[in-house]
Amino acid sequence: MYDIALKNGLVVNGTEICRANIYVKDGKIAEITDVDYDAESIQDAAGLYVLPGCIDSHCHFRDPGATQKEDFAHGTRSAAVGGVTTVFDMPNTNPAVLNEADLENKKKYFADKAYVDYALWGLSLGDINLAKKKKKKICD
């Protein structure tokens, strides 16, 4: 048995719109089909369009550091309401993500605050001028 069924929706994919049922098991879409299965929770989506979630790869949540502007919990909750299912947090926070330890700390900090899937950007403080260092010509 599935955990959730979203039935009779107009499912939009890359090539078509078709009436289908979406079944979820353990928090993941397990099947999209026109077959009628049972589930613990059933929602009727008749006449409604079911769209794939959007990805926002450039979010400024300012958390930690300047949460009066935006924090991760509110930002990801707003994303979910707007149909965004994955966000990428930019590293312009205090502290910034500059190394592996910072990344691990930020992952722990966000772990119980996320309402959608997320990824974390980091900053590179290495030598980014490799073309000049290697004396390669970039353009004429």
Q: Does a cis peptide bond (omega within 30 degrees of 0) precede residue 64? A: yes
- Write the DSSP string, 22-76: EEEETTEEEEEESS---EEEEEE-TT-EE-PPEEEEEE---TTT-TTT--HHHHH
Mean pLDDT, rounded, for 68-89: 93
In this predicted structure, the answer to whether residue 139 has a pLDDT above a threshold of 60 is: no
Mean pLDDT of the chain: 86
Is the confidence at residue 10, as pLDDT, over 60? Answer: yes
C-alpha separations of 18 from 13, 47, 49, 85 in Å: 9, 11, 9, 22
Handedness of CA 45, 84, 113, 29 (dihedral sign): positive
For the cut 90, the answer to whether the pLDDT of residue 65 exceeds it is no
Rg (CA), the chain: 21
The pLDDT of residue 126 is 54
Parts of the chain belonging to CATH 2.30.40.10: 2-50
Percent over 90 (pLDDT), the chain: 57
| Superfamily in which the 2-50 domain is placed by CATH | Urease, subunit C, domain 1 (2.30.40.10)
Q: What is the pLDDT of residues 99-138, one digit of tens each?
A: 888 888 888 988 899 999 999 887 765 544 444 444 444 4
Residue type, 76: T
pLDDT digit string (tens) for 19-33? 999 999 999 999 999
Residue 87 pLDDT > 70, yes or no? yes
- Identify the helix (H) or strand (E) that includes residue 132: helix 130-133
The structure tokens listed for 105 are 């700390």
